[in-house]
Amino acid sequence: MNMKNIVKLLVCGLAALCCACSEDDLTGEWSYSGPIPAIKDGPTEADKGCYALYQKYDVHVYWQLEGDAACYTDQGQVSSSGFNAAALPMQAAEEATEKFVKLLTKFFAMLPENLVKQGYYRRHILVKIMPPTYIYTDTEGNTYFCNTYGVNAWVYGAGSGVVYYGYLYNKEDNTGDKFDTNLDGWKWSMAYEFFKGLVDCIDKPVNVPDEFREISKDYYNYELGGSPESSIQGTVFDKVKGGHQGFIHPYAAHASNTKFCDEDWGAMVASILTWDKAELEEIYVTYPLIKAKYDIVKAFFTEQYGLDIEQLANRWRNVTLD
């Protein structure tokens, strides 16, 4: 059983009692101050971009932090227990900085300003090595490019509201600039963390529609416990089995249907926003449960935020770093 989900179950009741916000207020009860360290306007273009994001949205973006400094927040030290060992100690990420800040800026600019300000992750840290513990593949050996790691305080200590981004698989990785070779992967990961965090039900109310949670009931890897019926075996995701169970991505299959399906929700939204439209249409025809989730996501963003998810997808797919 995924450790994150074990802890989520233990704290579910407490979270429901402690949450100090209403269903219409997406800000959590915890406060995030900072920025630590201070964000200054210059001297580099990357610094200027980080400062502009801080001024407009109160998000704290860093690229020069390393070692313990990369794991420190105003709430204390982030535990390293959930990180890829190759990423530790954290290394500063100078090579990819300007492209990262530019892409994050373009992503936020496409969203309503108040929505960005309601985001769960207030602290965004670019490091050199990808922090996720596991790299997933499909049954044909194709790798899912997932280079981010969002930290939840209930699971790993004091790091509530922090997301890490990496751009190399390990210290020996010399495969080049992944902003050039896998820009779509970067787009997917940014969208995944933001929209997953938006509905996180530990520090915020659960506002994923009930009918979304019910679609894949009993099929989540958390529930199946690694049995043959699970679409995930080790780090291999069976797209066909997962598709018939309603999962568009391995991250989606790790969620729990009872109270927590933030990973499923985030993966669904990120895939809608970044994957090829024709590919998605084929998936919807082939896998009715995924299509049902798409319909719920589309209606949710229209009703809650006045956002047309397809228009947003068209814009995000066409973003470049030129």
d(CA 268, CA 248): 6
Q: How far is CA 146 from CA 111, 125, 135, 169, 259, in A?
A: 22, 15, 7, 10, 24
How much is the pLDDT for 295?
Answer: 98
Q: Model's pTM, two decimal places?
A: 0.89
d(CA 264, CA 254): 7
pLDDT mean across residues, the chain: 85
Comparing 16-30, 91-105, 232-246, 306-320, which segment has the lowest mean pLDDT? 16-30
φ, ψ of residue 236 to 5 degrees: the values are: -110, 125
Q: Please write the tens of the pLDDT for every residue from 152-188.
A: 655 444 556 899 999 898 888 887 778 888 999 999 9
φ, ψ of residue 102 to 5 degrees: the values are: -65, -45
Q: Label residues 58-90 b or e (16+ Cβ within 10 Å = b).
A: ebbbbbbbbeeebbbbebeebebebbbebbeeb
Q: Which runs of consecutive H residues, i.e. helices, occur in the chain?
A: 3-18, 45-57, 97-110, 113-117, 153-156, 178-181, 183-198, 210-215, 221-224, 239-245, 250-253, 262-274, 277-286, 288-305, 309-317
Q: Please write the tens of the pLDDT for every residue from 235-275.
A: 999 999 999 999 999 999 988 666 678 899 999 999 999 99
pLDDT for 28 beyond 50: no
3-state secondary structure of 168: strand
d(CA 275, CA 320): 15
How many CB atoms sit inside 10 A of residue 263's CB? Answer: 25
pLDDT for 2 beyond 60: no
Pairing of strands 60-62, 123-126: parallel
Q: Please write the tens of the pLDDT for every residue from 80-129.
A: 777 899 999 999 987 789 999 999 999 999 999 989 988 888 899 999 99
How much is the pLDDT for 222?
Answer: 84
Comparing 1-15, 54-68, 120-134, 145-159, which segment has the lowest mean pLDDT? 1-15
pLDDT for 205 beyond 60: no
How much is the pLDDT for 96?
Answer: 83
How much is the pLDDT for 153?
Answer: 53
Query: Residue 202: which pLDDT band, with cuts at 50, 70 and 90?
Result: low
